[in-house]
Amino acid sequence: MRPEDWRNMGLKDDEFKMIVEILGREPNYVELGMYSVMWSEHCSYKNSKDTLRTFPTEGERVLQGPGENAGIVDIGDGLAVCFKIESHNHPSAIEPYQGAATGVGGIIRDIFTMGARPIASLNSLRFGTLDDAHVRYILDGVVAGIAGYGNCIGIPTVAGEVYFDPSYQGNPLVNAMCVGLLETDKIKLGKATGIGNPVILVGARTGRDGMHGVTFASEELSEASEEKRPAVQVGDPFMEKLLLEACLELINNDDVVGIQDLGGAGLTCATSEMASRGNSGLEIVLDRVPCREEGMTPYEIMISESQERMLMVVTPEKEEKVHATFKRWGLTSTTIGFVTSDGILRVHQGGKVVAEVPAHSLAEDAPVYCPAYQEPAYLQTTAKLDLQTLPDVEDANQVLLQLLAAPNIASKEWVWQQYDYMVRTSTVVLPGADAAVLRIRGTNKGLAMSTDCNARYAYLDPYVGGKIAVAEAARNVVCSGGEPLAITNCLNFGNPEEPEIFWQFRQAVAGMGEACRALNTPVTGGNVSFYNETNGEAIYPTPVVGMVGLLDDVKQHCTPAFKAAGDVVVLLGDTYNELGGSEYLAAIHQRVQGQPPALDMKKEKTLQKVVLAAIKQGLVNSAHDLSEGGLAVALAECGFANGIGATIALTANGLRLDSLLFGESQSRVLISVSPENLSTLLELAAQNGVSAAELGQTGGTNMEVAVDGLTQLKLPLRQLKKAWQEAIPCAMK
């Protein structure tokens, strides 16, 4: 075998030597392909595994942590919530519709593979700037792909986030999350156990789409990436709906021993992982694999990433029933092999053995690297932000209008209106709030869920940025009335072989870990997406957090919208002279500099405790997390839904006007309360050492803010909403 053979498949020379040592011989071409996909960064996590082990992954509610298709958390009453987030970045860059659509399809399969019924989809999206026609094309295609798949399969897309920045110009991020519900005694794992048990392949026929998709996802994008369109899978949501229902029926009837979806690395991944987890082997016959293209080679069949396929292990006495069930649902199912005891994945075609490798070596024995790391040189420059040299606000009205029209703050209604967010009619809080809330049918409970990350913070200080991503996700869940339970994450970074990139990664993980431990929100699983670079230029480090929280009583949910005139507006938390990494600094002064706002996890935890207690006691009419754009933007957003303005009186207390109005100090929540509940709320905050400032009153149709008696903001809510609502639709015309 020639060096170019394994190098072209993304394997290093030393990795090829390891394979030879494992096998005691050189691999054949099929085996080489199997190792290349399973030892890719996408599948093996060879550059990140050591760092990921530092995450807290256990907790009293955690039923399944990392290592399976998705994490599972107990929510009481014999029920559990199953959730995970994954990336489909590179495919979406070259084929936006199918890249995004199959990302949604893949994460949905991860959920029902565990025995859970998917109830909601979320996403986290990043694009370049909207003045670029190609970026608009990518955005349009991605949103259409998410909508097309989710709407067809009948799972509501209920929440997410969309950001724009030049760092994503050539490399968009498309992170898809799915949440499901299941009974705790119905959990299924991706294990092949029971010697002699049949192995059944079900769903779509295998084609040549998605060839070497995981290898493609483990390399940088370049001008040549357009040639790799065959690496993008093609999705069929209608077939996936049938597959979902059939699999859940079998799982609920206890007809399944183990089950695994076929995603990245296709049949190679599903067979080797199931065998490895079950400490078993598998014999499979490729002649029995239904193919939709003639003349497919063993190599092609084993690494194809054709969508809407599942691998299932059943007992011999259930085999006929399982096939009959799939036939009734209009699906093709074929017994392609059986479970063995020798730990070998043995692949046959045409009466010959075409691959014979230890299953564990594919799934678990990839080399683990500890890349060199060092602090990026750019931090020496970006850290230098002297607020004394920054002109303060001259016209706060104009600044607020500009910020509301900035794409990162502007309404994302253009995006989420394309999604069906009400299908199944369980959605209680619609997109556009701090977090989505869904009712759990048959109970009084609800689930709150959110995706969050400020990548600009992570760029300026990955450790603090990682902390803030977790804290903000939890804060959003709390503002909706939910108790944060656990997180999943999608860690999007550049090339880990670059010391500065790997330093970003390590720091972000450490910060996230600290926040998770402080808030008691363990990591149940997730995804690492490296090599997000275009022609050597990396994206901002983007550690996205997906958070799920529990409402004991869904009727106690809360939203950001002011509910009535005459309520008292209260700010919980402290404001500082902090503008580093803010949207104000970037949008108004075109500067990405400074330190992100400081985050004290003890203060954050106490604040969340007070907000949640206040909501549960019925003291709060609205609650809104302060994030991009600070206090002024939050006040405007609270007024938009019901057209209720506010008259606010602030005291500067030595703060700059820009910091006071537009700064993004952490651990702050804006709430409104009925006058009769004000004293109780203030007492609750005081008892817990949380700052609480009475700012003013809701009412009227203007947003009016005075600072030290001088009016700084006074604009009709209608005008503010127009700027906020029209920015993205106008940019997309």
Q: Is 589 a catalytic residue?
A: no
In this structure, are residues 221 and 171 in contact, taking their beta carbons and an 8 Å threshold?
Answer: yes
* Cβ proximity of 41 and 529 under 8 Å: no
Alpha carbon distance, N-terminus to C-terminus of the chain = 54
E strands, 483-634, where?
483-492, 523-529, 533-534, 537-538, 542-551, 568-572, 622-625
Catalytic position from the list 42, 212, 348, 557: 42
> Rounded distance, CA 540 to CA 500, Å?
12
- Cβ burial of 223 (10 Å; 0-12, 13-18, 19+) is exposed
Dihedral angle over CA of 235, 241, 243, 246, nearest 10:
180
Distance of CA 407 to the CA centre of its chain: 20
* Distance, CA of 39 to CA of 214 (rounded, Å): 10
**Helix intervals (H) in 235-313:** 237-252, 266-277, 298-303
Q: What is the DSSP string of 520-544?
A: T--EEEEEEE---EETTEEPPPEEE
Write the CA distances from 470 to 97, 326, 402, 601, 615, integer angstroms: 29, 41, 28, 10, 21
> What does the alpha-carbon distance between residue 455 and residue 347 come to, in Å, rounded to a whole number?
44
Interacting residues of 535 by C-beta distance below 8 A, sequence separation 6+: 170, 220, 221, 222, 223
> How far is 617 from 688, CA to CA, in rounded Å?
15
Which of 88, 90, 348, 360 does the annotation list as catalytic? 88
Q: Report d(CA 336, CA 339) in Å as an integer.
A: 11
In whole angstroms, give the CA distance from residue 467 to residue 573: 17
Q: Which residues pair with 487 in a beta bridge?
A: 523, 547
CB 380 within 8 A of CB 56: no
Which positions are catalytic?
A: 42, 88
